[in-house]
Structure 1
Amino acid sequence: MKALRPHLTALFFLPPFLAFANPQTAWEDACGHAKNLELPAQDRPDTKTLPMLKDCDSEALYYGIGQAADYQQAKACAYSELGKEESPFQGASILMMVYANGKGANRDYGLAIKLACAVDGAPAENEGRIGHLQQLRQQGPGTTDFDICDDITSGMMMGLCTAHNDRIEQVARTENWAALTRAWSQEEKNAFSLLEKSARQFFQARSGNEIDQSGTARTAFVIAADASLQDDLLSSLAAFEKGRLPSFTDQQFAAADAKLNAVYKKIQTDKGFSWGTVSKDGIKSTQRQWLKYRDAWVSFGKVKYPNVSAGSWKTFWTEKRTKMLEDFLQ
């Protein structure tokens, strides 16, 4: 199986480029100097090509999401999106990276700066991004490609970049799931389909009800929580397929269940409970979905791993759930 891509991390560490300019050369001045640069006519799609780009996806074409990257097509598609962007991964942003990285067109930092100035963003992001491009122009390309997510500072853009990264990760997950289940019988696949449905309901409840959404980075945290659960399900099943199956006694399940109930009760009876937007009712609702998810594992296990006891499955997933709830007591 292909390794999953790591999640975006440390998106709020401010880049060193924020101090690139003195008061006489602010990022607005850099935009002023670049605004009269002309985008190359030869790079634009002609009138015959434009209709064929109506439903193109420059993000997928540039990053190779679900397909091989095609920088020439990404460039053409991005040009067709100019002025109609609905996300920061279209139009000007994609062209900014095309010219900054010399992928699909000749490298041109001046044009990259011009396009960066057209990308809507927080002032600190604009300053960092344009400063980053100025530094690349002065020092030459780095060891990694310039990316729109390199210099973000706002919670909103953190969420958008996390969603973008998750879109890439989802392709890897799909490939891994296909490889993992390819040899399964139809009965096993049908049983797993029911487990997946229950998993999705629990994951949505967990990320929606048990993640503090009071900050501007709430979207990123919700997406990251859901992705973490998906990855845990995938890695757990991969381990089971290699023979590393849970094996617990009825006494161990009783102890794990008692611990879970104690933690849950402590949360529900805590008069001072405060966890941002997370509420006791939200945790209660999520707990109900988790119980269905745990029992779905028992049903699936009977089909796929008949030698594993129901108590073993319950113990394995109960211990994971307990760790989730214990976070609310920190």
Structure 2
Amino acid sequence: MKICLPLLKTVLLGASCVLAGSGIAAAAAPYPNTSAMGVGHAESTAWYAGCLKVKDAAPPPAHLPAPSAVASLQQCQASDLYYDTKSMSSPKPADWRPVRHCALATQNSGVLMMLYQNGQGVQKEPLLALKYACSIDAAPAEMLGRIEHLQQINASGRGMIDLCDDITSGYMMGVCGAIDARQKQRVRVQTAGKFSDGWPAVAQASLQKLQAAAGKFADARAANETDLSGTARAAMSIAARTAELDLLAQDLREYEAGKLPVSISNAQAAALDKELNAIYARLMKKPVETYAGAVGKDGIRATQRLWLAYRDAWMNFGAVRFPAVSSETWVARLTARRNAQLQELLGH
């Protein structure tokens, strides 16, 4: 399987790099694709026999990209195109055509399975969809689950399939987490653009600084304050980053709708700050963990510095956009959340 590093940079650029290991049949991959299955007896299973029956299925010539276009499509990102098109309100066949051409040119079996099973831009072709499902680099349980899922859909005549419906591994959790994170990022950018377009330039500039600070803090949370020792580490890291950015987006929506935070006194803000310092000091006194992927003091320290920058950016933005809210209120709201994060790390 192909894994692209660093993970967070992959998420920011899109899920295609990660998806390459799960959706694109490598040039020398066997059919059915058992390259990720290790030692076993796949050849004796019912799903393997089913895959052999559709080995010669192929898309109609009219579905293929023009030979002259194949070279230029080699760098396209079929998975990004697929989920971007799927997110459209009413995608037409013409919208799906570039997705199909890209997937065919790059042999992205996962995307081709979805297109032909779901009838996106083409007539449904269950046998062809099965052929592409059998070509995906997958663990045995995942392959079995996906093929059974296809059979259930075809038997009932209802439902659609997604590459992430039947995953079984920590690796694929990361793949699908990256897909979800990318789509959420698109929504966040679109939403922020809609409600900030009419703002004064100073408010727009302040929002950009806040978003930049939030991104750095979210990256640090994902990299430094997430246990990366297990096979699901990619998914956990992505989830940690996404959670921070989603929270910022939620806050902005609520505040723009007039649901501003309840006013906090200086004494309450000071008490929360005192609590933060106490928890942080206890974390710095904890014994150093020795297992791989453990959250360490240096990482917490670096993340705390970025949180302070994020807090200050929020205060500056709040003063510009929501001047009726006191700086103590912003500090207290953010500090209470940070205290909960640090307390959770203390309990590990």
The answer, yes or no, to whether TM exceeds 0.5 is yes
Q: What residue number does 1:78 align with?
A: 103
Q: What residue number does 2:217 align with?
A: 202
Q: How does 1:27-106 map to 2 (within 5 A)?
A: 27-50=47-70, 53=73, 56-65=76-85, 69=91, 70-82=95-107, 91-106=108-123
Rounded Cα–Cα distance in structure 2 between residues aligned with 1:271 and 1:46:
62
Aligned length: 299
- Residues 262-308 of structure 1 show CA distances to partners (whole Å, capped at 9, x for unaligned) of 22222222337689521122112111111121122222222222332
Answer yes or no: is 1:115 the counterpart of 2:132: yes
- Asked if 2 retains the 8 angstrom alpha-carbon contact of 1:203 and 1:226, the reply is yes
- Residues 126-180 of structure 1 show CA distances to partners (whole Å, capped at 9, x for unaligned) of 111122222333x13333x111111100111111111111221111111110122
- Asked if 2 retains the 8 angstrom alpha-carbon contact of 1:195 and 1:297, the reply is yes
- Asked if 1 retains the 8 angstrom alpha-carbon contact of 2:170 and 2:233, the reply is yes
Q: How does 1:186-201 map to 2 (within 5 A)?
A: 186-201=201-216
Q: What residue number does 2:174 align with?
A: 159
Relative to structure 1, the CA distance from residue 140 to residue 102 in structure 2 (aligned partners, 3 Å threshold; closer, same or farther) is farther
Shift, 1:249, TM fit: 0.8
Rounded Cα–Cα distance in structure 2 between residues aligned with 1:209 and 1:306:
34
Answer yes or no: is 1:294 the counterpart of 2:311: yes
Paired residue secondary structure (1:64): helix
Answer yes or no: is 1:304 the counterpart of 2:321: yes
* Aligned residue type for 1:126: M
- Equivalent of residue 314 in structure 1, options 303, 319, 331: 331
Relative to structure 1, the CA distance from residue 140 to residue 105 in structure 2 (aligned partners, 3 Å threshold; closer, same or farther) is farther
- Asked if 2 retains the 8 angstrom alpha-carbon contact of 1:239 and 1:245, the reply is yes
Q: What residue number does 1:327 align with?
A: 344
Relative to structure 1, the CA distance from residue 169 to residue 47 in structure 2 (aligned partners, 3 Å threshold; closer, same or farther) is same
Q: Give the % identical residues.
A: 39
Relative to structure 1, the CA distance from residue 30 to residue 193 in structure 2 (aligned partners, 3 Å threshold; closer, same or farther) is same
* Aligned residue type for 2:64: R
Rounded Cα–Cα distance in structure 1 between residues aligned with 2:177 and 2:84:
17
Rounded Cα–Cα distance in structure 1 between residues aligned with 2:65 and 2:313:
52
- Asked if 2 retains the 8 angstrom alpha-carbon contact of 1:99 and 1:105, the reply is yes
- Asked if 1 retains the 8 angstrom alpha-carbon contact of 2:289 and 2:295, the reply is no
Unaligned 5+ residue runs, structure 2? Answer: 1-41
CA RMSD in angstroms comes to 2.4
Q: What residue number does 2:267 align with?
A: 251
Relative to structure 1, the CA distance from residue 99 to residue 328 in structure 2 (aligned partners, 3 Å threshold; closer, same or farther) is same
Normalised to the residue count of structure 1, the TM-score between the two structures is: 0.82
Relative to structure 1, the CA distance from residue 289 to residue 48 in structure 2 (aligned partners, 3 Å threshold; closer, same or farther) is closer
Q: What residue number does 1:266 align with?
A: 282
